Amino acid sequence: MNNNEFYTVRGYQLLKQEDKILTSAMEDYLEMIYRNAGEKGYMRINALAELLNVKPSSATKMVQKLAELKLLEYQKYGIISLTESGKKYGEFLLFRHNVIERFLRSIGITENLLKETELIEHNISADTLAKIDLLNNFFETNPHVLKEYEKFAEANM
């Protein structure tokens, strides 16, 4: 891809698709499982379906796909546990989510924060994510800069 070529959003998504193992929906499931398996190390399909606002049958189909990719194990009675690679992937997905959410909060996004985070997180490059994380850390170690931004934003919005 040439840096000067323009694509539609869908075009960029299709170009990036070759690099992705998981769809955005698969990432959401894996992130939610990682968030909620916790100390027990597992969660149930019904709890997952409820958290994602989907039917248990839909959750089961997605979990089966993730199991085929060796990211989790799905046992009878709806018990889901992550494999080591699933844990690593889930940890990254949660990190990505948190970096973007922290950034959006720091620039004053409060309305629809979760929705905005979700829309961004599936379409961000690793390089951009790293730079946003760096900026978040800069704001945290230089709170006076963030205060100046907040004053500027308030005066110009």
Interval 1-22: pLDDT, tens: 555 665 555 554 544 554 567 8
Chosen CATH of 9-83 out of 1.10.1660.10, 1.20.140.10, 1.10.10.10, 3.90.1490.10: 1.10.10.10
| Token duo for residue 7 | 């694509």
Residues of the chain with CATH 1.10.10.10: 9-83
Residues of the chain with CATH 1.10.60.10: 89-156
What's the chain's average pLDDT?
89
| Token duo for residue 19 | 């690099």
Q: Is the model's pLDDT at 55 over the cut of 60?
A: yes
Q: What percent of the chain has pLDDT over 70?
A: 87
pLDDT value of residue 46: 94
Q: pTM for this one?
A: 0.84
Q: Is the model's pLDDT at 151 over the cut of 60?
A: yes
CATH 3.40.640.10, applies to 89-156 = no
Q: How confident is the model at residue 77 (pLDDT cuts 50, 70, 90)?
A: confident
Q: What is the DSSP string of 21-77?
A: SS-HHHHHHHHHHHHHHGGGT-EEHHHHHHHHT--HHHHHHHHHHHHHTTSEEEEGG
pLDDT value of residue 19: 55
